[in-house]
């Protein structure tokens, strides 16, 4: 079978996308991941769920020759899904040069290899963070990008521009998927957001607080101009996100794209506040969380949720799972991790 290369394949969304690709039994899947914020154990979890082995090359995408060696070894790659990037909003604020160097260089190198090795189908993991603070909701693909709120968001926005300019002079077909806030875990409970470093996303902070790994969680900002004072996001189940990447790849492979570069929002269309997310978790888990309201966090936007009707019309995709299912699966994953963690 032909191969799909996932960069960041042992990461959160990458691993779930690998699982969905294996389930279709149409492609072999390989990964490039330097394991800076993920674990090699993910390969074993993917195999336990799918019965198939994903080869991961522990390569830094900033090293062009190392990346070229992967393409040389795998001449049957027909598509690339590029997840790999540094992604913490807070860390990007404190280390902007590190984020610009890593995220730009890795993207440029993988595009160079697609061009050199004639891999014509490319999916880019973009982000709703590029929209920044906006006045009109929901967000559409035509919403103007004015001022991003963090260096991380800027790397995604500039990454899109790099791809757009690249597509003007290349035969590579590219789709940028601007997704909102992926949460949840595989239905088996055996794969989820396996955070190696200190978690910054809301749901792993919630589940780790619930089991006592975090003594008390902080809700960043209780004075936003929202219905309960906390920031509002559009949460979407990670398997829904994974499914969108499969549909986008098929869209390119079947030649349905109208342009060499296209952009799609991926979201549920529903805004959920931080406190509403906490309440949903407490409802499905039966666990009361120990949390306090703290100061706002640099780089966070106030409120954002999506209009993803274009993805429905063109890719045949829409979100399926609600916030209760997201929290329930995340809690199932946390319990799995707890049971399999050595004391």
pLDDT tier at 335, thresholds 50, 70, 90 = very high
Q: Is 133 helix (H, G, I), strand (E, B) or coil?
A: coil
Alpha-carbon distance of 79 to 160, in angstroms, equals 18
CA atoms in the 13 A half-sphere facing the CB of 17: 30
From 12, 57, 131, 152, the catalytic residue: 152
**pLDDT tens digits, 195-251:** 777 787 899 999 999 999 999 999 999 999 999 999 999 999 999 999 999 999 999
If one counts every other C-beta atom within 10 angstroms of the C-beta of residue 293, the result is: 14
**pLDDT tens digits, 22-40:** 999 999 999 999 999 899 9
Q: Is 210 helix (H, G, I), strand (E, B) or coil?
A: helix
Q: Under CATH, what is the fold of the domain 3-185+235-267?
A: Rossmann fold (3.40.50)
Q: What are phi and psi of 265, to 5 degrees?
A: -80, 145
| CA torsion through residues 88, 156, 100, 151, sign | negative
Prior bond of 281 cis (ω within 30°): no
Mean local confidence (pLDDT), 78-90: 93
Query: In the chain, what percentage of residues exceed pLDDT 70?
Result: 99
Q: Order of strands, edge to edge, in the sheet holding 55-57? A: 55-57, 28-32, 3-7, 77-82, 121-127, 173-179, 261-266
Dihedral of CA atoms 294, 129, 141, 139 in degrees, nearest 10, equals 0
Examine the pLDDT at 49 and tell me if it is beyond 70: yes
Which pLDDT belongs to residue 253?
Answer: 98
Question: Considering only 11-20, 86-95, 166-175, which range has the smallest mean pLDDT?
Answer: 86-95
Distances (CA, A) of 35 to 63, 84, 85, 97: 15, 10, 11, 20
Which residue, 234, 226, 237, is CA-closest to 305? Answer: 234
pLDDT tier at 342, thresholds 50, 70, 90 = low
Mean local confidence (pLDDT), 131-158: 88
Task: Identify each DSSP E strand in 158-227 by its residue range.
Answer: 173-179, 181-183, 217-220
Residue tagged 């949720």 (tokens) = 305
Residue tagged 């969680």 (tokens) = 217
pLDDT tier at 145, thresholds 50, 70, 90 = confident
Q: Is 179 a catalytic residue?
A: no
- Buried-exposed string 41-68: b where 16+ CB fall within 10 A, e elsewhere: ebbebbeebbeeebebbebbbbebebbe
Burial label for 117, CB within 10 Å (0-12, 13-18, 19+), is middle
Which pLDDT belongs to residue 343?
Answer: 46
Ramachandran assignment for 262, one of left (phi > 0), alpha (psi -120 to 50 degrees), beta (any other):
beta
Which pLDDT belongs to residue 144?
Answer: 86
Outline where 10-88 has alpha helix (H): 12-24, 41-50, 64-73
**pLDDT tens digits, 286-297:** 999 999 999 998
CA atoms in the 13 A half-sphere facing the CB of 66: 11
Which pLDDT belongs to residue 61?
Answer: 98
Examine the pLDDT at 280 and tell me if it is beyond 60: yes
- Please, what is the angle between helix 202-210 and helix 323-339, to 10°? 50
Domain boundaries, the chain: 3-185+235-267
Examine the pLDDT at 299 and tell me if it is beyond 80: no
Which pLDDT belongs to residue 55?
Answer: 98
Rg (CA), the chain: 19
52 vs 301, residue with greater confidence? 52
Mean local confidence (pLDDT), 161-176: 98
* 119, containing H or E segment: none
Contact 174, 16 (CB under 8 A): no
Mean local confidence (pLDDT), 38-43: 93
Which residue, 179, 292, 157, 327, is CA-closest to 244? Answer: 179
Q: What are phi and psi of 2, to 5 degrees?
A: -65, 165
Query: In the chain, what percentage of residues exceed pLDDT 90?
Result: 84
């Amino acid at each position: 079978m032909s191969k799909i290369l996932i960069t960041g394949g042992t990461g959160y969304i990458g691993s779930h996308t690998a699982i969905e690709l294996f389930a279709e039994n149409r492609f072999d899947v390989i990964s490039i991941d330097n394991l800076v914020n993920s674990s090699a154990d993910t390969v074993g979890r993917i195999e336990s769920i799918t019965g198939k082995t994903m080869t991961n090359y522990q390569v830094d995408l900033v090293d062009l020759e190392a990346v070229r060696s992967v393409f040389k070894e795998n001449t049957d790659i027909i598509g690339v899904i590029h997840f790999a990037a540094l992604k913490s909003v807070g860390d990007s604020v404190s280390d902007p040069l590190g984020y610009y160097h890593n995220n730009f260089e890795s993207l440029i190198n993988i595009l160079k290899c697609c061009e050199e090795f004639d891999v014509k189908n490319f999916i880019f993991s973009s982000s709703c963070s590029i929209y920044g603070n906006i006045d009109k909701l929901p967000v559409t693909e035509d919403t103007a990008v004015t001022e991003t709120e963090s260096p991380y968001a800027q790397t995604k926005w500039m990454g899109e521009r790099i791809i757009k300019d690249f597509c003007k002079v290349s035969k590579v077909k590219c789709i940028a998927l601007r997704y909102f806030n992926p949460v949840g875990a595989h239905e088996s409970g055996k794969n989820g957001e396996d955070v190696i470093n200190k978690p910054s996303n809301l749901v792993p902070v919630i589940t780790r607080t619930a089991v006592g790994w975090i003594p008390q969680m902080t809700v960043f900002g209780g004075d936003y101009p929202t219905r309960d004072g906390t920031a509002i996001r559009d949460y979407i189940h990670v398997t829904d996100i994974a499914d969108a990447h499969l549909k986008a790849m098929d869209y390119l492979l079947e030649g349905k794209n109208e342009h060499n570069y296209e952009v799609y929002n991926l979201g549920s269309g529903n805004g959920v506040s931080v406190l509403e997310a906490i309440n949903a978790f407490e409802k499905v888990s039966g666990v009361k969380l120990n949390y306090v309201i703290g100061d706002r966090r640099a780089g966070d936007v106030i409120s954002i949720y999506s209009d993803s009707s274009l993805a429905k019309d063109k890719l045949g995709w829409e979100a399926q799972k609600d916030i209760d299912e997201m929290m329930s699966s995340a809690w199932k994953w946390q319990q799995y991790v707890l049971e399999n963690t050595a004391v």
